[in-house]
Amino acid sequence: MLQSAPSPQVWTGKPIVLVGLMGVGKSTVGRRLATRLGVPFVDADHEIETAAGMTVGEIFEKFGEPYFRDGERRVIARLIDGSPRVVATGGGAFINDETRALILGQAIAIWLDAPIHVLADRVRRRDTRPLLRDKDPFVVLKDLAAVRNPIYAQAPIHIPSDQAPHESAVAAILRALEL
């Protein structure tokens, strides 16, 4: 007998913001979580690209990371306006003090976390990430994790996301939200 997908619930709370290193599944988990909660899903990087008329990589290359982070903060502030939704952020968004304060003050921050070897395997499949250009993903991610994980740990909800299907991370988030 086929199991049907769980029916969506309707989330009426604060925006839910997913944070964590690149490759952890923020966008994929975010889309599925939004569907389960019956709310819109928004990818902050996509919104930044739309607003700028160029890719994240092009913004980094043309204007540098500080310029990108400032635009990212403004876009995230617009996305967490109090409306129920799920927002996937770029890996560095939560590291910015102002952006992190916005997220922690106006949303529910959820840290998706996975072992470095899993993340490195996932990000090797795409070459769209500016911080990985011409570098070993394992080394870059290990260095980023050393700096960023203590900051991601400020998110009130921590969800391990290993090699299990993304649906297991969604289920863990729903449990953490007590749904």
Using the CB atoms, write b or e for 144-168: b if 16+ within 10 Å. bbeebeebbeebeeebebeeeebee
Q: Considering only CA atoms, which of 154, 159, 151, 152 is closest in space to residue 176?
A: 159
CA dist., res. 176 & res. 95, Å (int): 23
Q: What are phi and psi of 162, to 5 degrees?
A: -95, -140
115, part of any domain: yes
9, part of any domain: no
93, part of any domain: yes
Q: Is 28 annotated as a binding residue?
A: yes
CA dist., res. 11 & res. 80, Å (int): 14
Q: Is 69 annotated as a binding residue?
A: yes
Residue 143: pLDDT over 70 = yes
Q: Is 45 annotated as a binding residue?
A: yes
Radius of gyration, CA atoms only, the chain: 16
Count of domains for the chain? 1
Q: Which domain holds residue 134?
A: 16-176
Q: What are phi and psi of 164, to 5 degrees?
A: -70, 160
CATH value at residue 82: 3.40.50.300
Q: Is 64 annotated as a binding residue?
A: no
Q: What pTM was estimated for this model as a whole?
A: 0.89
5, part of any domain: no
Residue 167: pLDDT over 90 = no
Give 45-68 pLDDT, tens digit per residue.
999 999 889 998 899 889 988 899
Mean pLDDT of the chain: 88
How big is the CA angle at 114 (ends 156 and 149), to the nearest 5 degrees? Answer: 50
3, part of any domain: no
